[in-house]
Each structure stands twice: as structure tokens, then as C-alpha cells.
Amino acid sequence: MSLTRRNFLGVAVAAPVAATVVPLNAAFAAKPLTIGFSQVGAESEWRTANTASIKDAAKKAGINLKFADAQQRQENQVKAIRSFIAQRVDVIAFSPVVESGWDTVLREAKRANIPVILTDRGVKVSDESLYVTFLGSDFVEEGRRAARWLVEHAKKNPNRAYNIVELQGTVGSAPAIDRKAGFAEVMKLEPRLKIIRSQTGDFTRAKGKEVMEAFLKSEGKNITVLYAHNDDMAIGAIQAIEEAGFKPGKDILVVSIDGVRGAFEAMLQGKLNVTVECNPLLGPQLMEAAKAVKAGKPVPKRIVVQEGVFPAEVAAKEFPNRKY
């Protein structure tokens, strides 16, 4: 008995039944996994490293990556996710610009039977089964670590004032919400730590500089600490501090988060006091998780990335080891 099928060139051929089963299965097995990935944007040095890690890991793993840059806009991410659903990708992964407003589109992905992996940032949804796993940092802990460094600094400097200006990340984003909360929790341990101004700098250097200029204009030398939710805003703000005639790292302590190359350079110049690491190199873990999900293997609901804290004193020793 035989039946007709198409070979890889699309030509109709006759083949015995037993022989058709094996090559067709083999053809399916050889089909590369397709991941649709919606990235936040290109707002920071961290994000550039994160994008490079994801693209590079997909290439190494032989995964077909459909990459969409949302330019920091949730509506662009929703469009990208809908387009991935229409294209019937195997797995959808995304780093959500903001925490809320995902229920509808994630329900559409679930109805289409396409698993979703959250990368870097989490979401607030009514039904946790709308995503399979969340791979990323513990942002609350990062905020706590930043505050802990200041609490320790205050213990060693009993006569210093700690009037903090805070540069928040993108409004409504998980890292901005969590880093603020973690910092606020630990700063209570030292009553001299006071937040005198707090505003978003949208995770960019340009906005960090602009908002710091405004803080300096209204508060002047009353400011003794800058807490920035990422290194890029801190680097922009350092420029504003210098232009206003103050010494960053001395007159104004600078504490930030990410641990990117630019922050290490600023520490080596004595302009930044400490950076709390947030590891952007999530590509290899994301590809592993996607393969496991597609193969029907169990994956943990939460995969937390291990990270450290780098004060300026260790910057010279650590700098050559930095990968981003």
C-alpha cells in the first residue's frame, strides 16, 4: 500500500505507509523553535546588553527569533504579541514596559495555545496561568540593597545629612515600583535617611539629567544623596551635578542600580559610590526555558537571577570581569 506526499522541495511522491511515518516525524523534529520576543525598547545600556544577549543566545541555540522593539510603549507590545499569535509562533516572550493591562492580550495567547514567558519584568494579572514562567531579577531586593549601602554609610558618618533625591524608572513599570518599595522598606532603619524629592527619569540618561537639573534648581545644596533606579539616569544626573558646580560621589553621594560598564567607569572616576547589580544576560536561560516549555517539561513559575553589589572600592578589581 502507498500514499502520496510532498518531499522537501514540494514535489508529490508516492511512498509506502511505514516509510512515511519516520521521515515526517523527522521533518517535524528538525523544525526550529520560533520565539516571538517583544522588547521594551533601547532606553539604557542595560537594555542594549539584554537585547544582544537574547539575539545571541537564540542564534547559538538554533532558535528562530522574531524580535520586536516596542519603543517603551505598551500599545506597541500588545500589537507585537497579537502579530506573534497570528503568525502561530511556538512561544511568546516579552519584557513588559508596565505591570498592568495585560489580561486581554495574554488571554488571547492562551486561547491560541501559545505559552508566554515573562522576561526581565513581571506583570500584575488576574490569572497567573496566563504566563508559564517569569525569568528575571528581584527588583525589590535591589532597592533594599541600595538602601542598605546607605544605612551602612550613615552608621560610619554620624554627622552627615542624608537628604535623598530619587530618580524613578518608567512610571508603572515593575522595576520602578519594586525598587522604590524595597528602598523605602530598608531606609526606615535609619531616621536620617529622608527622600526630599522623587520623580521619574524614565530610565534614560537624557531624562535623568533633565530631572536632576530641576531638583538642583529647587533644592540646591540641600541635596546630599541621589538614588537612581538605574545607572543611565545616574550618569545623566552626574553631568547635571557637575554642571551645577557640585562634586558627584562626594558632595552628593550617588547610588544606582544595574552595574553596567558606564557605572563602573563613573566609579573609577570617583563620581558614583555604588551600583547594585541587575543582570541583563538573560538570553541563554530564556532559550532553555522556551525549549523546556515547548517540550512539555515542567519549569518553575519564577526563575530569579543571582546578583551582587559593587561599591566604588571594588570597581578597579571588578571592571575587567564585567561582561556588559
Between residues 40 and 85, which has the closer beta carbon with respect to ligand AHR?
A: 40
Separation between Cα atoms, residue 178 and residue 136, nearest integer Å: 13
Contact between 94 and 76 under an 8 Å Cβ cutoff? The reply is no
Angle in degrees, 0-180, between the axes of helices 231-243 and 45-61, rounded to the nearest 10: 150
Separation between Cα atoms, residue 131 and residue 118, nearest integer Å: 7
Candidate residues 39, 47, 70, 223; the one interacting with ligand AHR per rule CB under 6 A: 47
Which residue in 304, 264, 301 sits closest to 282, CA to CA?
304
Assess 203 for contact with ligand AHR (CB under 6 A).
yes
Assess 230 for contact with ligand AHR (CB under 6 A).
yes
Assess 145 for contact with ligand AHR (CB under 6 A).
no
Residue 182 beta carbon to ligand AHR: minimum distance, rounded to whole angstroms? 13
Residue 180 beta carbon to ligand AHR: minimum distance, rounded to whole angstroms? 13
Separation between Cα atoms, residue 260 and residue 28, nearest integer Å: 41
Candidate residues 37, 46, 215, 246; the one interacting with ligand AHR per rule CB under 6 A: 46
Assess 120 for contact with ligand AHR (CB under 6 A).
yes
Residue 179 beta carbon to ligand AHR: minimum distance, rounded to whole angstroms? 8
Instruction: Write the DSSP assignment of 11-37 as a string of letters.
Output: -EEEEEHHHHHHHHHHHHHHSPPEEEE
Assess 202 for contact with ligand AHR (CB under 6 A).
no
Assess 43 for contact with ligand AHR (CB under 6 A).
yes
Which residue in 186, 187, 213 sits closest to 199, CA to CA?
213
Which residue in 112, 80, 115 sits closest to 97, CA to CA?
80
Alpha helices (H) along 118-260: 139-156, 174-187, 205-219, 231-243
Separation between Cα atoms, residue 14 and residue 32, nearest integer Å: 26
Between residues 246 and 310, which has the closer beta carbon with respect to ligand AHR?
A: 310
Which residues sit opposite 277 in a β-bridge?
258
Residue 146 beta carbon to ligand AHR: minimum distance, rounded to whole angstroms? 12
Which residue in 141, 89, 95, 140 sits closest to 115, CA to CA?
89
Assess 200 for contact with ligand AHR (CB under 6 A).
no
**Which part of the chain contacts ligand AHR (CB under 6 A), choosing from 42-50, 57-65, 76-84, 294-302?**
42-50
Assess 197 for contact with ligand AHR (CB under 6 A).
no
Assess 258 for contact with ligand AHR (CB under 6 A).
yes
Assess 166 for contact with ligand AHR (CB under 6 A).
no
Assess 278 for contact with ligand AHR (CB under 6 A).
yes
Separation between Cα atoms, residue 184 and residue 229, nearest integer Å: 13
The grid coordinates listed for 86 are 497570528
The CA–CA distances, whole Å, from 302 to 122, 128, 173 equal 10, 11, 18
Candidate residues 58, 121, 209, 244; the one interacting with ligand AHR per rule CB under 6 A: 121
Assess 134 for contact with ligand AHR (CB under 6 A).
no
**Which part of the chain contacts ligand AHR (CB under 6 A), choosing from 12-20, 41-49, 78-86, 293-301?**
41-49
Total residues interacting with ligand AHR, rule: CB under 6 A: 13
Residues at the interface with ligand AHR (CB under 6 A): 43-44, 46-47, 120-121, 175, 203, 230, 232, 257-258, 278
